[in-house]
Amino acid sequence: MQINKEWKITKRVSNETSSGLGQFPPLVAQLLYNRGVKTAEQATEFLLPTKDSLHAPTKLPDMDEAINRLKMSIDSSETVAIFGDFDADGVTATAVLALGFLKLGLNIIPYIPDRIYEGHGLNTNAIDYLKDNGASLIVTVDCGTTAVNEIAYAKTLGIDTIVTDHHVPQEELPDTKATINPQLEGHSYPFLGLSGVGLAFKLIQGLYENLGIEWDPALLQLVAIGTVTDVAPLLDENRYLVSAGLNSMVHSPLPGIKKLMQMSRIDKKDKLGTGDISFSIGPLVNAPGRLDHAMKSYQMLTSSNELEADELANDINTINKTRQNLTQQAVAIARSKVSEDEPLSNITLIWDEEFKPGIVGLVASRLVDEYSKPAVVIAVEGNLARGSARSTPNFNMVEALSSCSDLFTKFGGHPMAGGFTIRTQDLHLLKTRMQEINPNTLPANPSQQTLNVDANVRISTLTGDTFNMIRLMEPYGESNAEPLFLTTGVQVLSVSFMGKNKQHIRMRILHQGSVWEAVGFNQSNNWVDSYKTLDIVYSVGLDTWSGREIFKLYLKDFRNPNPM
């Protein structure tokens, strides 16, 4: 399906507003303004985040209570269980607490549930296992806010619980020693965009600062991976956490991360970006939790032995290749179902016995990208089915799932994503009810994508010092998209195609007397042989070739400026 793309050009910032941001070139001021930066102080913090960008952990709800309870554990040599989750955010969060606790001499039991047999969140069988192995305190990461019954059960066994979580709470909260969740009301923490690993780090930061000990900066490598893969907003303190983590990966990577970088062929780079996590490291960390067991990823990330890390990385790479093949097959099935059953629906909701529970989230994400509307993809296994949902910015997925909660045996999520387990016999009812939810909040034209263009520019204005300033906008990601530019009337000098299926396009273009290199991934279908002149929307970057860095345009869309 070919998606029509609307080019939405941001209104030009006023001279008064631009001057209030500081001594920046007008284009850089425009980019800052487009990202919600309104003052010179905010501009400096946005472009040059430092350790001072970190907020005081004790402003989070129940942080003081959690610190005091953990100090008791340290003093009494108590065994502490860390209960994680099987995605990259949950695995890295488990690793952050494990490494942080071990350095303080705590006895720990890391526990990550099996995606298929246990599912997301605390369960009584796991609690029994932890009790039998001596745990008297459970610290959750990336889960726990809705585990009212499970935490009550743990309490009957004499186990205390500290919850660290960023998911939306329900009306009833669990009876814990502390629930650290910025989504709760009644606290003064100024940033609500921390991921699960971000909150795990805040617990370590708060505990270490209370004890007067420096926390290990290498932990931020794990924080960066979890934050980016969980698509947390790259604003506020997340900008420091991710940028510092990426920098740490380049200069002194943890053994397991070093192996993943080598496997992804990014270990020689002198600068890493969020794309290196999203498309290289993140999928590898996620793969075992999808098809095997996420403890393999945890063991690799926390390993201090390069030989062990190498063996685990090779195993994980094999699992990831299997995941890629299964995803490709499932996406093909999904596309056929969408074309047959969903052409006019504002929400895609499909299921199949061929879908694997570990990859339905990937398939849902692909459908959102391709069809620009929320997607729910469900793997059917006998009488039970497991679904994963992904949304668009104008549709709150967790609210939609909550309105169907009576159909689920288990569910959870946040506005942009969710997951659930449901009886197979209820799937048709779920589909009917989901497609009746708040139709006015959905896109008026779901077959159209919007490209938010930062500025209409001459290509030559993006080089030199301006390009260096643009790079300070990194790390890119959720809520801080890579800047997009529009240039009109470029002359096409040559075109070639790349990729196994010739799906990528490469161009040499002429604009105002200068020749530029441009590449468009998955853009070949847009090309028409009669095109001689184009309007283009693109980002800019550097490509390394034979040891040289070449300024390049990365095409997001192009069109004939004079259609017939």
Report if residue 359 sits inside a domain.
Answer: yes
Do 125 and 72 share a structural domain? Answer: yes
**Distance between CA atoms of 295 and 60, rounded to whole angstroms?**
29
| Nearest Cα to Cα of residue 503 among 490, 519, 518, 492 | 519
Task: Record the tokens describing residue 93, joined without a space.
Answer: 């969060």
- The CA distances from residue 400 to 50, 149, 359, 545, in Å, are 38, 23, 22, 48
Report if residue 202 sits inside a domain.
Answer: yes
CATH number at residue 414: 3.10.310.30
Do 161 and 269 share a structural domain? Answer: yes
Low-confidence ranges of the chain (pLDDT < 50): 1-2, 443-447
Contact 74, 104 (CB under 8 A): yes
Using one digit for the tens of pLDDT, what is the confidence trace for 539-556? 999 887 666 778 999 999
Q: What is the pLDDT of residue 543?
A: 83
Do 438 and 471 share a structural domain? Answer: no
Do 460 and 436 share a structural domain? Answer: no
Element holding 452 (H helix, E strand) = strand 448-453
The residue assigned the tokens 């931020």 is 220
Q: Quick count: other Cβ atoms within 10 Å of Cβ 14?
A: 11
Angle between helices 26-34 and 464-471 (to 10 degrees): 20
Do 260 and 192 share a structural domain? Answer: yes
Report if residue 324 sits inside a domain.
Answer: no
Report if residue 196 sits inside a domain.
Answer: yes
Tell whether pTM > 0.85: yes
Do 375 and 412 share a structural domain? Answer: yes
Report if residue 46 sits inside a domain.
Answer: no
CATH number at residue 529: 2.40.50.460
Distant-in-sequence, close-in-space partners of 399: CB < 8 Å, separation ≥ 6: 415
| Nearest Cα to Cα of residue 165 among 205, 128, 192, 125 | 192
Give the bridge partners for 452, in sequence order: 8
**Distance between CA atoms of 354 and 380, rounded to whole angstroms?**
8
Do 177 and 72 share a structural domain? Answer: yes
Report if residue 361 sits inside a domain.
Answer: yes
Do 203 and 113 share a structural domain? Answer: yes
Contact 487, 41 (CB under 8 A): no
Distant-in-sequence, close-in-space partners of 513: CB < 8 Å, separation ≥ 6: none
The residue assigned the tokens 């996420």 is 294
State residue 418 phi and psi, 5-degree precision. Answer: -165, 170
Q: Which of 315, 350, 383 is the last residue of a domain?
A: 315
| Nearest Cα to Cα of residue 476 among 245, 221, 234, 220 | 234
Do 165 and 131 share a structural domain? Answer: yes
The three-state secondary structure class of 203 is helix
| Nearest Cα to Cα of residue 264 among 247, 248, 249, 251 | 249
Q: Which of 280, 315, 350 is the last residue of a domain?
A: 315
Pairing of strands 375-381, 384-390: antiparallel
Query: Cα-Cα-Cα-Cα dihedral of 89, 91, 96, 101, to 10°?
Result: 140
Q: Which amino acid is at 172?
A: E
Do 153 and 101 share a structural domain? Answer: yes
Do 518 and 399 share a structural domain? Answer: no
Distant-in-sequence, close-in-space partners of 124: CB < 8 Å, separation ≥ 6: 150, 153
Instruction: Give the distance, in angstroms, between the CA of residue 259 and the centroid of all CA atoms in the same chain.
Output: 21
**Distance between CA atoms of 9 and 28, rounded to whole angstroms?**
16
Answer whether the bond into residue 217 is a cis peptide, omega within 30°: no
Task: Report the domain count for the chain.
Answer: 3
| Nearest Cα to Cα of residue 20 among 9, 11, 33 | 33
Task: Record the tokens describing residue 369, joined without a space.
Answer: 């990208």
CATH number at residue 302: 3.90.1640.30
**Distance between CA atoms of 520 and 218, rounded to whole angstroms?**
35
Q: Which amino acid is at 564?
A: M
Query: For residue 469, what are the domain limits?
Result: 450-559
The three-state secondary structure class of 444 is coil
End-to-end Cα, the chain, rounded Å: 23
Report if residue 32 sits inside a domain.
Answer: no
| Nearest Cα to Cα of residue 44 among 471, 464, 483, 472 | 472
Do 302 and 372 share a structural domain? Answer: no
State residue 478 phi and psi, 5-degree precision. Answer: -55, 130
- 3-state DSSP: the chain helix, strand, coil percent, rounded to 5? 45, 20, 35
Contact 373, 344 (CB under 8 A): no
Contact 285, 92 (CB under 8 A): yes
| Nearest Cα to Cα of residue 418 among 401, 430, 432 | 401
Report if residue 22 sits inside a domain.
Answer: no
Task: Record the tokens describing residue 558, joined without a space.
Answer: 């192009």
DSSP 339: H
Q: What is the pLDDT of residue 562?
A: 76
DSSP 6: E
Contact 176, 161 (CB under 8 A): yes
Q: Which of 315, 330, 363 is the last residue of a domain?
A: 315
Contact 350, 369 (CB under 8 A): no
